[in-house]
Structure 1
């Protein structure tokens, strides 16, 4: 996944390193053990099964139907930022008739994960992966990780905003703030975007300075939220965006 000219582009290429790490997880080991059952030489079975699953996965990732499905959802990723900017309960302030909203990445990535998984389940090459649900889940999570990294790599700031739909821009990113304690298998997806509402008025130097000051103020206040308050913010946002 690459971010160029305001757009995340899915190339059809996936890194093998995350796959190798996945093979050491309980789900990965179970998938390899199941695939190894087709090989007669048990002492080579796991190695051959791992190689077989990787080849299937890499080939599937390049198929046109897969590329089209993922690219469509990658294009929708900035729009999800805009949609959640309107959600109820998220921290926000007003700056010269512009709204500045904190949008946790767990909300955006969670929505993107569900959308990509639903689309890919209709693609035969994905649905028939020999590694089963565990390998399919790994692939979707890997795509989300790459997509999130591509957008985050643009380093949005008040001086270099990143488009977030038609009416909003991301003007800041905190990659570390912990919004929730994930379950055992869930990715953390820590951090949040700061999204600024666009109006007919141009973004002036004075506005950029005011936005930077507001971001700094919010950053100093967020650590004071309790775990229950953070969970409630996420719950209300999901409900409000639904």
Structure 2
């Protein structure tokens, strides 16, 4: 059982880049366009082409590629790492399914990548500067997220993460009222014990009950839980263990 990600050396293109270039990256495109000589295709179009070429070159760089493969290998461990952090000694999972929001996994992945790759010469030399570097990293996190969430998680075929936590199911559409990513992973800590037929039946029942409980939450209750996760990530840490315990 497991979920392994392999970096292919390519950055998924276009609609996302076009949206960024006409939105958050508009100032970057404009600044670069103003430095271009007359171009038959237009300076802004030329600037966009230059920026995308830089991203493509960065994605295929051997040095950066090795670092990105390390990030891809690290990503599947994040749900388990987070579950282990938020489970204090007083709250033992004991074969009960546990929820880790997708937005939290990706926020941690993005923060970690930003810190570890901050000094990458390939990224620091981008003409688009910090804005283009941030876009590159966000796109890479989106690619890892898309690849990992396509794994057919199940109780019979769980995906190993970290600290003996395994992903047994995934909900792509649950609305956490978060601006970035919806959905969450369902995990259980196996303690390296095989999920027997009896345990699988019990776990399936617990999973069904947890899903039903989440489905009964009002919008304001969902918001409280999501804000608690986000506040913990931001370092404010209000009632996170209590929230986690209520969801277990």
TM-score under structure 2 length normalisation: 0.83
Q: Distance in 2 between matches of 1:85 and 1:28?
A: 35
Partner of 1:21: 19
Equivalent residue for 1:38, pick from 35, 38, 41: 35
Mark the runs of 5 or more structure 2 residues left unpaired by the alignment: 242-248
Secondary structure class of the residue paired with 2:191: coil
Q: Distance in 2 between matches of 1:210 and 1:94?
A: 17
Equivalent residue for 1:215, pick from 197, 200, 207: 207
Partner of 2:53: 55
1:199 pairs with 2:191? yes
Partner of 2:224: 228
Q: Distance in 2 between matches of 1:138 and 1:125?
A: 14
Cα offset for 1:78?
2.4
- Number of aligned residue pairs: give it: 229
Cα offset for 1:231?
1.4
Mark the runs of 5 or more structure 1 residues left unpaired by the alignment: 183-187
Pick the structure with more strand per residue.
Answer: 1
Which runs of 4 or more aligned residues in structure 1 lie more than 6 Å from their structure 2 counterparts after TM superposition? none
Counterpart contact for 1:89–1:233, Cα < 8 Å: no
1:153 pairs with 2:145? no
TM-score under structure 1 length normalisation: 0.85
Secondary structure class of the residue paired with 2:162: coil
- RMSD of aligned Cα (Å): 2.5
Query: Kindly tell me: are residues 87 and 56 of structure 1, through their superposed partners in 2, closer, same or farther at Cα, counting changes over 3 Å?
Result: same
Cα offset for 1:75?
1.5
